[in-house]
Structure 1
Amino acid sequence: MNNTMDNETERLDELNDRYARALLPLTITFGFFAVFGFFGNLIILLVFSLSRDYKRNNFKVFVLTLAVIDMVICVTLIPAEMVKQRKYFEFGDVVTCKVKCFFNVFGASSSCLAFLVISIDRVRKVVQPFKKQMSPAIAVRILIVVACVFPILLAVPGTIMCGIKTTNMTNIHGGNTTIHLCETEEKYEKSIWRTVYKFTFIILLVGISVTYIVLYTFVMREAAKQMKAISMQRKHSSLETVFTTGIYYQNTIVNETPVSNIVKSDNTGSYMSVGTIINNGSLSKGSLENGDLKQRESIEQIRRKNVRPQKTKHFPTKTIIWFILTIVFIVTYFTLNILTLNVGKIVNMSPSEFTLFSFFFRIYFLNHVINPIVYAMFVKRFRSSCRNVFPMLLSKLR
C-alpha cells in the first residue's frame, strides 16, 4: 500500500528539476541575452558619450536613455528570470520575487513611454520642422519624469501585490504536488485594486501603441512626400524647384538641421526655410534690397554655388531606426499581454509545452538587447566608432 502511494507521488524538488531540465536551453539563451545586452549597451554608452562624432542632440539623448534602461533590465530582470526558471515551482525567495516583479513593470513602462517621447519628437522633426522643436535639455527633463519617475511609481503597486503563491499541480503520476510560484499573492488575486491595476496597465500599453502607429503614419507619409520632392528635384536642375518643394531634412545622424536650405536670421535667431521665404513672397527683389544684408548675401551665395540639399532615395535614417525599435516593442509586449491570460494554465502544461510558452512569454527580452544590432545595421559611423571604442577609452583614461 505504501509503495503504491510512493509511486503515485512526486516530490516538489523532483517536479521542479524535471521542468528545469526542459527549460535549460531557454535559460542559457536568456543568459546570452543578458551578456550581449549588457556589453552591447555598454558600448553604446561609451561610443555616444566619449566620441566627438556625436553632437549633443535629441538622437544622442534618446539613444543614451534607451541604453541605460536596457542595461538595467539586462543586469536585473533577465538574471532574475533565469533564477526563476531554475526554481519555478519551488520559488521561496520573496525578496527576489518582488525585485523581479518591480523590474517587469518598470522595464515595460519605461521603454513604452520613452518610445512615446521619441515618436512625438519624430513628428515634430519631420512633419512640423518649422515649429518650435524639443531641445536636448528639454528632452532630458521629459525623459527623467516620463521614462524614470512615472514607471517607478507605476511599478510600486505591482511589487506590493507580488509574492509567493502556493497551489497544487498535477505531477507525472497524475497526483497533486504542492508548488510555490512567484506570482500575485492569493490575498490580492481577487482584489478590485488588482483588477484596476492590471487593466490600467493594459490600457496604457494598448493606448500608447495605437498612438505610435498613428504618429508614425504621419511621419512615413511626410517622408514619402519628401522622397517624391527629391525625385522632382533630380528631373529639374533648377535650384528654385528645390526651394519650392520644402525639402528640409538630411539623412544624417549627427546634424539635426540642414544648412543648404535654412537661413538664420540674425535679428530673431530663428531658422527659416529658403523655399518658404521665396514662396511666401517675403523675399522679393525689393525686400532683398532693403532687407538684412547678411541674409541677402547668404541666399545669393547659395544661388551662385548652386548648393542643393542632400539627396537620398531612402527614408531618414533616424526615423527608420526608431520605427523598427518601436515595432519590435509593440509586437513583443503584445505577445506578453496575450499570453498573460493563460498564465493560470501552466500547472496543466507538460515540460515541452511550458518551455514553448515561456519562450514566447519572455520574448520581450529582445526589446532590450536588439538596439546595438539596429544601430550597427543603419549607422555606419556607429560601426566605425565601435572598432575604435577601446583605443578611445584608453586615451581618455590616460
Structure 2
Amino acid sequence: MCEYSCRGEKRVPVQPRYHKISASMSSTMGAYNTLTDDGSNFTNSSVNVESLEDLNKRYADDLLPLTITFGVFTLFGFLGNLLILIVFSLSREYRRNNFKVFVLTLAVIDLITCMTLIPAEMVKQRNFFEFENALQCKFKCFFNVFGASSSCLALLVISLDRFRKVVQPFKKQLTPKLAVKVLIGVAIVFPICLAIPGTIMCGINTTTMVNKYGTNTTIHLCETEEKFEASVWRNIYKWIFIILLGGISLAYIIMYTFVMRAAAKQIKAISLQRNNSSFDFVQTSSIFDTNMIVHEPTNDLSIRKVNKNMRDIQNAANGKHSVTRCSCQSHKRHTPMLQRHGFPTKTIIWFILTIVFIVTYFTHIILSLRVGKIVTMEPGQFASFSFFFRIYFVNHMINPLVYAIFVKRFRESCRNIGPLVMEKLSQFLC
C-alpha cells in the first residue's frame, strides 16, 4: 500500500492513526514494550490499573466479618426491642410510670435504628467505594443523625428525672404524662429537624484512590458532597453536633455525680437506721447487756433518733399503738424513696446505658477526625477502623440485655409473654 492517494493530480499525504488505550483495556494487557533511543533494547513498563469493581470487592471481603457482626446486632436489637415493647405494653405488672415511659421510648428509637440505619450501613460496606445511589446515601445520613441525637436527648431527659428523684425528692417531679410530651418534642421532633440539614449536604462524592498497582482508581463515596465540603454552614453544623454531644455528656456526668453522692449518703443513713433499730430491739427484749460498751461513732442527732425509737417501742409495748402507727405513716410519707427502699435499680440501669453511650459516641467523634484518611488505608486497617467508628451501634441493642440482668420482673414477664400474647389476640379476635 502506498502512503498517498493516487486519485487526481494532487497527491495528499495520509496521516497515520493513533488509538488511545483506555484504562480498562490497559488493565488486561499486563505490560507493553517500549523502544529505546538506539532501537535495540526493549524494557517492560507496567500500566496495570485496578478496576473499581475489583478494588471495592477487595475491601468488601475484609469487611465481611464486620458486616455479619452488624447483622447479628440488627437481629438481636430488633427482636430484643420488639420484646420490650410487647412486655411493657401488654403486661399488667407494669403500671404507667416514668420508668415505663422511658423504656418504651428508647425501645422505639432503637427499633427504628435497627430496622434502618444498621442495615443501611451493611449495604454501604458491601459497596463502600462504588456507592452511586444518592437516594440511599441520603436515607442513611438522615437516620445516622436521627439515631444519635434522639438517643442522646432521651437519655438527657432520663438523667434529669433521676436527678430530681434522688437529689431533690421533695420538689415537683416529672409526671408520666408530662414525660411523654417532653420526649416527643425533645427526642423525636427536634432530632428530625436536626437531621434535615445533614441529609441535604450528604451525597455522592467522586474522588480517586491509589490502588494496589500504585495507580489511581476513580471511586464514589457516600459522604458530604464536594460543593458543601468547604461551606461555612457545614462547619457550623459539625460544631453544633460536637458542642451538643459534649455539653450533654458533661451534663450526664455532673448529674450522675450528684445522684451517686446522694445515694451514698442515704445508703449510709439506711445502714445507721437499721443498726439503731437492732440496738433498740435487743435492749427492749432484755437480751442487750446494759454494761456492754459499744464503740460506734455517734452524734447528738443519732442519739436523739435512738431515744425516739426507744420511746416508740416502749409505747408500743405499753399498748399505745396509735402513736407508733402515726409515726410510721408520717415517716413513710415524708421519707425519700431511696431511704425507704434502698438504692434503686432504675438508677443503675440508666447510669450503665448512659456510660455506654458516652464512651461509644466519643470514640466515634475521635475517629471521625481520620475519615479523610480512609482512602490511604489497607483493607485490614480499614476493617478495624470501621468497627470502632460504628461501635455506637451497641447502644441500640444492649438495652434488652441490661433489663434482663437487673430487672427480675422483666425476666419473669418474658417467660410468660407467650400465653399473654395469645390471650390478647383471642380477646381482639373475639
- TM-score, structure 1 as length reference: 0.82
Per the alignment, do residues 315 and 302 of structure 1 end up closer, same or farther by CA in structure 2, a change over 3 Å counting? closer
Match of 2:228 in 1: 188
Match of 2:317 in 1: none
Match of 1:122 in 2: 162
Cα distance in structure 1, aligned partners of 2:235 and 2:342: 46
Does 1:323 find its partner at 2:351?
yes
- Deviation track 1:333-369 (CA, whole Å, cap 9, x = no partner) reads 0011111110000000000000000000000000000
Among 134, 139, 156, the residue aligned to 2:179: 139
- How far the C-alpha of 1:391 sits from its partner, in A, is 1.4
Among 326, 348, 353, the residue aligned to 1:299: 326
The 8 Å contact of residues 114 and 147 in structure 1, kept in 2 or not, is answered as yes
Among 14, 22, 31, the residue aligned to 1:4: 31
Cα distance in structure 2, aligned partners of 1:227 and 1:212: 22
**CA-based RMSD:** 2.5
Any unmatched runs of 5+ in structure 1? 241-277, 279-294
| Number of equivalenced pairs | 343
Amino-acid identity (%)? 67
- Deviation track 1:194-245 (CA, whole Å, cap 9, x = no partner) reads 00000011100000000000000000000001110111012101899xxxxx
Higher relative contact order (CA 8 A, sep 6+): 1
Match of 2:384 in 1: 356
Letter in 2 for 1:121: D
Letter in 1 for 2:71: G
User: Which moved further from structure 2: 126-135 or 314-323?
Assistant: 314-323
- How far the C-alpha of 1:300 sits from its partner, in A, is 4.9
Per the alignment, do residues 395 and 94 of structure 1 end up closer, same or farther by CA in structure 2, a change over 3 Å counting? same
Does 1:17 find its partner at 2:57?
yes
Any unmatched runs of 5+ in structure 2? 1-25, 33-45, 281-304, 306-321
Among 87, 92, 95, the residue aligned to 1:47: 87
Match of 1:167 in 2: 207
Among 387, 395, 411, the residue aligned to 1:383: 411
Per the alignment, do residues 158 and 65 of structure 1 end up closer, same or farther by CA in structure 2, a change over 3 Å counting? same
Letter in 1 for 2:30: N
Among 220, 229, 254, the residue aligned to 1:214: 254
The 8 Å contact of residues 338 and 344 in structure 2, kept in 1 or not, is answered as no
Does 1:333 find its partner at 2:361?
yes
- How far the C-alpha of 1:4 sits from its partner, in A, is 2.3
Match of 2:425 in 1: 397
- How far the C-alpha of 1:139 sits from its partner, in A, is 0.2
Secondary structure at 1:165 match in 2:
strand
Cα distance in structure 1, aligned partners of 2:338 and 2:140: 48
The 8 Å contact of residues 169 and 347 in structure 1, kept in 2 or not, is answered as yes
Query: Runs ≥4 in structure 1, deviation > 4 angstroms?
Result: 295-298, 300-303, 308-314
- How far the C-alpha of 1:388 sits from its partner, in A, is 1.1
Does 1:64 find its partner at 2:92?
no
- How far the C-alpha of 1:313 sits from its partner, in A, is 9.9
Per the alignment, do residues 239 and 202 of structure 1 end up closer, same or farther by CA in structure 2, a change over 3 Å counting? farther
Among 375, 393, 402, the residue aligned to 1:365: 393
User: Which moved further from structure 2: 47-56 or 314-323?
Assistant: 314-323
Among 102, 115, 118, the residue aligned to 1:75: 115
Letter in 2 for 1:4: A
The 8 Å contact of residues 332 and 364 in structure 1, kept in 2 or not, is answered as yes
Match of 1:177 in 2: 217
Secondary structure at 2:204 match in 1:
strand
Secondary structure at 1:177 match in 2:
strand
Letter in 2 for 1:322: W
Cα distance in structure 2, aligned partners of 1:395 and 1:41: 21
- Deviation track 1:153-193 (CA, whole Å, cap 9, x = no partner) reads 00000000000000111101111100000000000000000
Letter in 2 for 1:342: R
Cα distance in structure 1, aligned partners of 2:142 and 2:30: 45
Letter in 2 for 1:83: V
- Deviation track 1:86-116 (CA, whole Å, cap 9, x = no partner) reads 0000001111100100011000100000000
The 8 Å contact of residues 227 and 312 in structure 1, kept in 2 or not, is answered as no
Match of 2:374 in 1: 346
- How far the C-alpha of 1:299 sits from its partner, in A, is 1.7
Cα distance in structure 2, aligned partners of 1:341 and 1:330: 17
The 8 Å contact of residues 227 and 313 in structure 1, kept in 2 or not, is answered as no
